[in-house]
Amino acid sequence: MVIRRGAFVIKRMPGFTLVALACFFALYMPLAPLVVYSFNEGNNIALWEGLSLRWYREAWDNELVQSAAIRSLVVATVASVIATVLATMVALGTTRTRPYRGQTTIYALVNQPLIVPEIVTAVALLILFAMIKQATDYHGYAYLISAHTAFCIPFAYLPIRARLEGMDRVLETAAADLYATPWQAFKRVTLPLLLPGIFAGAMLAFVISLDDVVITEFVKSAGQDTLPTYMLGQLRRTITPEINAISTVLLTVSVIMVTLIFFLSRKKAK
């Protein structure tokens, strides 16, 4: 007599719901006071004095916050676009070719920023850019954008590679059989099917760049504060609910972007 066992489903494991709720509580409960006290009327971040949008208005009117926010958006946008383009090229080169020597090494090198501690990457970039600054006397935003791009490439690469690996090559083969050139096949077949992965990778890279503190703190020059480094500087001086308000806005943007990535990933899976 053969006993057939059903497929393993993690949700059916004893205590799964309790463990899941405990994990969600540990992850998100610390964020609750941050959000709640961003609507506090008073100056104290731990003493509730009434409901108000005062600190959101003050953050909105703060010229330093405005300039830092614009700088963060510009750097994150440019870095995510460049990182996504490079990640797409690398993903195509490691999935849409025959196996070749060094392919695994390339994969490991691309994902190196995910393995090496961020502080190590920051110190390495600081030394490299210091040498370039001394040789060229250039102190612009190119260093900050280059650092963010290098750090964001693996975050954009993983969704794009996953999308390529999940794509059936039948349509691409059919396009080749119909005398389409490699470029025509890519433009009319591969790229449209790859777009959900590209958008997911771009948004993930954007969020990572927007929230980055360590690399930015090491690489930036004077007057190049992004929103996270501006907040870090304020925390070293005086802590007010304005920081809570800015953090809540950043949290909201991150949640929206991650939600969009989730829906794009679901579309990719379908």
Beta-bridged to residue 192, according to DSSP, are none
The CA distance from 228 to 104, in Å, is 35
Q: Which residues, 6 or more positions from 95, have their beta carbon under 8 angstroms from its beta carbon?
A: 161, 164, 165
Position 4 pLDDT exceeds 60: no
- Closest by alpha carbon to 70, among 226, 245, 254, 221? 226
Identify the pLDDT of residue 1: 44
- Count of C-beta atoms within a 10 Å radius of residue 145: 20
pLDDT tens by residue, 132-182: 988 898 888 899 999 999 999 999 998 898 888 877 777 777 777 777 777
Choose the most confident range, by mean pLDDT, from 35-49, 71-85, 189-203: 71-85
Set out the domains of the chain in order of their start, with CATH numbers: 52-269 (1.10.3720.10)
Answer for the pair 197, 159: CB distance below 8 angstroms, yes or no.
yes
- Closest by alpha carbon to 208, among 184, 185, 226, 234? 226
142 half-sphere exposure, CB direction, 13 A CA radius: 9
Choose the most confident range, by mean pLDDT, from 183-187, 221-225, 258-262: 221-225
Position 269 pLDDT exceeds 70: no
Using 50, 70 and 90 to split pLDDT, how confident is the model at 30? Answer: confident
Token output for 243 = 């920081």
Kindly tell me the number of DSSP H helices and DSSP E strands found in the chain.
14, 0
Identify the pLDDT of residue 8: 66
* Own/partner long-range contacts of 165-172 (Cβ < 8 Å, ≥24 apart): 165/95, 166/268, 166/269, 167/193, 167/194
- The pTM of this model reads 0.80
What amino acid occupies position 223?
G
pLDDT tens by residue, 71-123: 999 999 999 999 999 999 888 888 877 777 777 788 788 888 888 888 998 99
- Count of C-beta atoms within a 10 Å radius of residue 249: 17
